[in-house]
Homo-oligomer: A and B are copies of this chain.
Amino acid sequence: MEWINGGITAPEGFRAAGIGCGIKFDKPDLAVVVSDRDALCAGCFTRNKVKAAPVRVCKDHLSKTNICRAFIVSSGIANACTGEQGIENARRMASLTAEQLGVKTENVMVCSTGRIGTQLPLDKIAKGIVTVVGSASKDGAHDAAVAIMTTDVVPKEASCSTIINGSKITFGGMVKGAGMIAPDMATMLAFITTDAAVEPVFLQTVLRECVDKTFNSITVDGDTSTNDTVLMMANGVAGNPVITAGSEGAEMFRQALQGVCYSLAEQIVRDGEGATKLIQVTVTGAVDNASARKASHCVANSLLLKVAFSGPDANWGRIMAALGRAGIEVDPDKIDVFIGDVPMVARGVEIAGNKNDARQVWKQQTFVITVDLHLGPGKDTCLTCDISHAYIDINL
C-alpha cells in the first residue's frame, strides 16, 4: 500500500466539486462526489436515536438499492430536529442532484453537517446543486474537502494505491470532524471511494470493521451527534476480479481501507476543536477486548485528564481515577502506567524518580499512554486530544 495524492477523486471514475451556495455567509458549503458509472454503496450511520433528516433519507435509499452515483453534502446546517420539512428538504437535495445526473433519486446519498434545529435554505441549495454537479471534475477533490468543513481548521483527505491480484486498486477519502466527536462517530462525515470491484456484502462488512477500529476509536469531547455518516462507493473501474470475503485479495483490501480510515480518523483528532496535542491511549491486560475498550475510552474521554494534557504535569492520578470508574474489572494494586516509554506507575504506586522524564514526554505534541491492567489478554487503543481554552471559545 502506497500513499498517493488526489483525495476523494484519486480512484478512477470519480469526480468532485465544492462551491459556496449561500448557506454560510462567505464560505464553501456544498460538495458533490460523482461516480461516472454505477457504484456499489456501503454506509455506517450514527447510533444516536435523534437522527438527522439526511441520515434517515440515506438509510431509506440504501434499503432500496445498493447502487449509488453521487454524494451531495452541505455544511453549515445539520438538518437535524427539523421535522417533516427537514426530511422533505433532504429528499429534495437528493432528487435535484439525481436530476442533474439523469439517475434515480435513491442513487444519490445526501449528508448535512452544522447547527441543529435550523431549516436548510433550499432555494439557494437548489441553485447550488446545478452549479456544483456541473463543475464536478477529477481536480475537484480538494474543493469538496473544503466545502464540507464546519469548525474544522484544515481540510482532511487521504488516498492510497495497492496491487491486488495484479490489478492496481486506488482508494480516496475525505472527512469532516472537529467537535461532538466520540465513539459512534459523532459529528463526522466521511466519504470514501475506490475503483475496486467488490462483492456487496463483503464491502458493507469490511467497512463496518474498519469504522470500528478507526472512526469509532477516537474522541474529542465525548458528545455524539445526530448526523454521523460514513459512506463508501466502489465503482469497479479498476477491472479487477471481484473481491469477496475470504478471497486472496480480501485482506489486502481490508488493510488498505483501514489505512485510509485511520489516516482520516487521526486527522479528525489532530484537528479537534482547539486541540494542540494528539494522545494515543492503549490499554492492555484487561480481562477481554471489550473491557479494554471501555477502559481506553473512559481514559480518553476524561475531561479532567484532557485538560491536564494541556498542562505541565504528567497527571497519572487522573488516569487511575478514570480506570476505576470505567465499569470494568480492575485491581488497582496491579495497574502499571507508562507515559511514553517512561514507567510511571508500578502496581498502582508511583515509581520514584521518574516524574521529570514523564514530564518531558507529556510536553510533546504527540505521545502514547499505555496502561497494563495485568488481568488478561484484552487490548484496545483510542486516540484523543487535549481540551484547551480554544475549545470553549469555539463552542460558546
Q: Which residues from chain A sit less than 8 Å from chain B, CB to CB?
A: 47-51, 78, 80-83, 115-117, 179-180, 184, 221-226, 302-305, 307-308, 310-312, 316-318, 320-325, 330, 332-333, 335, 345, 347-350, 387-389, 391-392, 395-396
Contact = CB atoms under 8 A, between A and B. Distances in A.
Contact of A325 (B48, B311, B333): B48
Interface of A is mostly: loop
A330 B226 CA distance: 13
- Of A47, A80, A395, most buried by chain B (CB within 10 Å of CB) is A395
B392 A318 contact: no
A348 B395 contact: no
Given A116-B317, A317-B116, A389-B392, A81 B50 contact: no
Given A50-B323, A324-B48, A83 B349 contact: yes
B48 A321 contact: yes
B392 A307 contact: yes
Contacts of A396: 307-308, 310-312
Contacts of A308: 395-396
Given A117-B350, A320-B116, A389-B392, A180 B50 contact: no
A396 B306 CA distance: 9
A353 to B, nearest CB: 14
7 contacts: A50-B321, A50-B332, A117-B350, A180-B321, A303-B303, A304-B395, A310-B396
A60 to B, nearest CB: 16
B392 A388 contact: yes
Nearest to A355: B117
A335 B388 CA distance: 33
B317 A115 contact: yes
In the complex, the count of this chain's copies comes to: 2
A322 B82 contact: no
Nearest to A344: B117
Contact of A222 (B80, B303, B348): B303
A80 B320 CA distance: 9
Contact of A224 (B321, B330, B333, B387): B321
Nearest to A317: B116
Contacts of A221: 303-304
Given A48-B324, A395-B308, A80 B317 contact: yes
A225 B113 CA distance: 36
A304 B184 contact: no
5 nearest A-B pairs in the assembled complex, by CB-CB distance: A116-B317, A50-B324, A311-B396, A48-B324, A83-B349
Contacts of A312: 396
A246 to B, nearest CB: 35
Contacts of A310: 392, 396
A105 to B, nearest CB: 23
B179 A304 contact: yes
A9 B50 CA distance: 50
A305 to B, nearest CB: 8
Given A50-B324, A304-B180, A325-B224, A316 B350 contact: no
A378 to B, nearest CB: 16
A244 to B, nearest CB: 35
Contacts of A82: 349
A116 B318 contact: yes
A23 B378 CA distance: 40
A44 to B, nearest CB: 16
Contacts of A324: 48-51, 224, 226
A115 B315 CA distance: 9
A387 B226 CA distance: 23
Contacts of A180: 304, 321
A323 B226 CA distance: 10
A351 B267 CA distance: 37
